Amino acid sequence: MQRLTQSLFQKFSTLVYQEAGIHLHDGKKSLLEARLAKRLRATGIATPRQYLDFILSEAGRDEYVKFFDAVSTNLTYFFREPKHFEFLEKIALPEIVERNRKNGTFRIRIWSAGCSTGEEPYSIAMTVLAFLGGGSRWDFRLLATDISTRVLQTAMAGIYEKTKLANVPAALRQRFFEPIRDGASPKSYRVCNELKEIIAFRRLNLMDPFPFSGPFDVIFCRNVMIYFDKKTQESLIQKMSAYLHEGGYFFVGHSESLTGLRHPLKYIKPAVYKKI
């Protein structure tokens, strides 16, 4: 693939920023070149300039989505940043259950924004179901969204290599995963239907209007805003907070902070905020 000119890099980075809020600074030029090279090989298009023209045309609408699949980075694993799940189990869920019961509702709604290949929402769902216990009367549903159709396909399939389950406690692994037998020892596992049935996986660009009304008791938006500039971060946190129930919790990644941003949330502890 021919090298990206600075002018063309700016055109791609402006497109990515306007469409997805992701800030591709000059240090990301080589990354973009590598991702573009894969898409050029897949499509047979000769040059980055022709590729840009194609994805902006009516004929290139499907490839437009695949381009954003390629430039969005997805790194995740089960029970990543475990202190969040400890907090969810020991602090947030007891509060939510007590509050909702007092209000006469047995409904719990959680949103995993930027869910990637599904490990985060499945980890959340396992934590909640284990907390509620068997035969629960609670109506629990979880929305899991991502801009990438590629990772959503993996999430919906719910099949993971054995090594991916290393951080899943044995009791949860036994309850929520079915081994896929291929020889003497299973090399991969399938998420059980009990878990799949409560999660709705949907494609969502966080820069677009949200096609739901909420409110959510908990929102996980971890390791997503690190790709945005401060202006976009502030706009997004205000937008998402409007969909959070009063008294609800908002989780960001431990490498992220809302310091210096205007928002209606109260700091509780590192990477945990609450709508008061």
pLDDT of 142 reads: 98
pLDDT of residue 74: 64
Distance of CA 112 to the CA centre of its chain: 5
Contact 42, 91 (CB under 8 A): no
Q: Measured between alpha carbons, how far is residue 65 from residues 60, 72, 207 in Å?
A: 9, 11, 15
Judge contact between 191 and 83, C-beta under 8 A. no
d(CA 20, CA 33): 18
- Identify whether 215 is preceded by a cis peptide bond (ω within 30 of 0): yes
Distances (CA, A) of 167 to 41, 80, 88, 154, 268: 36, 8, 17, 19, 26
* Domain boundaries of the chain, sorted by first residue: 6-71, 82-275
Decide yes or no: CATH 3.40.1190.20 for domain 82-275. Answer: no
Class of 6-71 per CATH? mainly alpha
Closest CA to 227 of 250, 201, 256, 269: 256
Catalytic residues: 35, 146
d(CA 161, CA 178): 12
DSSP-assigned letter for residue 141: E
pLDDT in tens, the chain (276 residues): 678 899 999 999 999 888 777 788 888 888 899 889 999 999 999 999 999 999 999 899 889 888 887 887 666 899 999 999 999 999 999 999 999 999 999 999 999 999 999 999 999 999 999 999 877 789 999 999 999 998 999 999 999 999 889 899 999 999 999 999 876 678 899 999 999 999 999 999 999 999 998 899 999 999 888 888 899 999 999 999 999 999 999 999 988 889 899 999 999 999 999 999
